[in-house]
Amino acid sequence: MARISRASTLHLTLPDTEEPLRQRIAGAVVAALRTGTLRPGDLLPSSRILATELSVSRSAVVDAYDELAAAGFVDSRPGSGTRVAAGADVAAHAGVTPHVAPAPASTAHSRTTRPATTLDLSPGYPDTDLISPRDWRSSWRVATAGPVPNIPPVRGGHRRLRVALAVHLRRTRGIVADPDEIVVVPGALAALRTLVTAADLSDSQIAFEDPGYAKARAALAAAGARIRPVAVDRDGIDPAALRSTDAAVYCTPAHQYPMGSRLSAVRRATLVADAAATGRLIVEDDYDGEFRYGVASLPALRAIEGGREQVAYVGTASKILSPSLRLAWLVPPAALLPRVQDALAVSGETACAVTASAFASFVESGALTRHLARTSRTYAARRQSFVDALRTHLPDVEPLGVEAGLHVALRLPDGTDDAAIADEIGRRGVVVRGLAAYRADPKGPRGLLCGYARLPESRAGDAARVIATVIRERVADAAGTGDSCTTSGS
């Protein structure tokens, strides 16, 4: 018979390590599983009780429980507490840990050979290890319980997912859309290609953020649009920089990719109002708009007055779950919806029915809400550790875009060879991206993009140290001073 006694106290001993507090708490729980103090079926103390016992903040315990749940050691159900999962003791005895163990610090960096341990700070990738295995498996069981689909989705397909997305968009982005106004597509780039056809933008001019999302720029150009780069600043794209010849404008207002700015409220209103006056289409790529840290969320362009008629909203599962799902959603202006559906019927670009069903179940069950809450806390902690480390090791370079998203930008002096700097940092074991890959104007801003979503807090200092060392060496050499690193304004 399964044990159901609640552990009112655990008498955990936190390890004396440099790991983040949440990881030390989670590790102590796993240690209790190894000693037999805890067994499958046991109920853990509430986060409040355990926090009091350990004399730590409740948020640290909540984060530790989230980490244990994501790794499959515990099951958390609203109203039922947190219970040790079946098989958790076996995993603990086998040496499984709820987090990535810090790698041994390297005593030296080679300029010519990539170290065996690489920290991948490539921007745009979420941490898939944070997805609850229980919720993930449950969603796919539901999706595969029915008969195997034998025809591709037709006009009006993926009904269940569109209904779920209508609720999700209203709650998280302030967008009120009927399920019939939402179109499911196999990725954000498919949405962009479809819009070029539906809005007859082939051979038309599209104003595009610069630096900007290179894959989106390439997709629009490949579909026949003519791209006109428009420089961004600390407030995003400036509506005053648009021209009457711009048939459309592509923007990432929630967290400009790659520079990280948020489009200001004034510019949002102006952009939509100007579009209404000129008939210009606004393509709003809500790149990673779900993640906010210490700042209020601004409504999507689609949600403000006039947005329904002028804004084509593009959202994706790539940043909230995984790029491998190849799943996105498009909410076009009402007048454009029939042409979008016609364009998809001709192109044959359809999302996988089973994947769409699984994601619908993930949203309906509340798993997505729990996942976003859990990842937001984790990403916020990783972001803070990384930003603090950068400010310690590289105080002259201010990280940009820290209020949202999954990456920060480091602005470097004009003329810096950021591609070469990124390559050298990579040779020393840390993967980052130079702005060279994102700018269309050769004279545009220089800098690096650093994604922190997959960076353990315990390794933030290591990553920042390597980045700072290379920047100082290369920028100082270029300046001929050897003792300083200053940034240019944005």
Whose tokens are 């480091």? That residue is 410
CATH class of 119-125+371-479: alpha beta
In this predicted model, what pLDDT tens digit does every residue of 327-351 receive, in sequence order? 999 999 999 999 999 999 999 999 9
Average pLDDT of the chain, as a whole number: 87
DSSP letter, residue 38: S
* CATH 3.40.640.10 domain residues, the chain: 150-365
pLDDT of 105 reads 42
pLDDT band at 239 (very low <50, low <70, confident <90, very high): very high
CA distance 60 to 77: 19
Bridge pairing between strands 205-210 and 399-400: unpaired
Asked if residues 132 and 69 have their Cβ atoms less than 8 Å apart, the reply is: yes
* CATH 1.10.10.10 domain residues, the chain: 21-99
Q: What residues contact 215, with CB distance under 8 A and at least 6 apart?
A: 189
CA distance 452 to 122: 8
* Opening angle at CA 202, ends 285 and 169, nearest 5: 20
In this predicted model, what pLDDT tens digit does every residue of 366-389 receive, in sequence order? 999 999 989 999 999 999 999 999
Strands (E), 352-461: 399-400, 407-412, 430-431, 433-434, 446-451
More confident residue, 193 or 6: 193
Look up residue 240 and give its amino acid.
Answer: A
Give 227-234 contacts, CB < 8 A, sequence gap 24+. 227/440, 229/440, 229/441, 231/441, 231/444, 232/256, 232/259, 232/261, 233/261, 233/490, 234/261, 234/400, 234/490
Q: Answer yes or no: is pLDDT of 47 > 60.
A: yes
Longest Cα–Cα distance of the chain, Å, equals: 74
Task: Look at the chain and count its residues.
Answer: 490
408 by Cβ neighbours in 10 Å (0-12 / 13-18 / 19+) ranks as buried
Give 344-348 contacts, CB < 8 A, sequence gap 24+. 344/155, 344/183, 344/185, 344/194, 345/154, 345/155, 346/197, 347/193, 347/194, 347/197, 348/152
Average the pLDDT over 404-416 and give the result.
91
pLDDT band at 160 (very low <50, low <70, confident <90, very high): very high
pLDDT band at 452 (very low <50, low <70, confident <90, very high): very high
pLDDT of 478 reads 63
DSSP string, 462-487: HHHHHHHHHHHHHHHHHHT-SS----
pLDDT band at 172 (very low <50, low <70, confident <90, very high): confident
Q: What residues contact 217, with CB distance under 8 A and at least 6 apart?
A: 208, 227, 250, 440
CB burial of 299-308 (b: ≥16 within 10 Å; e: otherwise) equals ebbbbbebbb
452 by Cβ neighbours in 10 Å (0-12 / 13-18 / 19+) ranks as buried
- For 150-365, CATH number out of 3.40.50.850, 3.40.190.170, 3.40.640.10, 3.20.20.10 equals 3.40.640.10
Look up residue 329 and give its amino acid.
Answer: W
Q: Please count the other Cβ atoms lying within 10 Å of the Cβ belonging to residue 218.
A: 13
pLDDT of 5 reads 44
pTM: 0.76
Average the pLDDT over 244-254 and give the result.
96
Average the pLDDT over 208-223 and give the result.
96
* Opening angle at CA 118, ends 116 and 124, nearest 5: 155
Architecture of domain 21-99: Orthogonal Bundle (1.10)
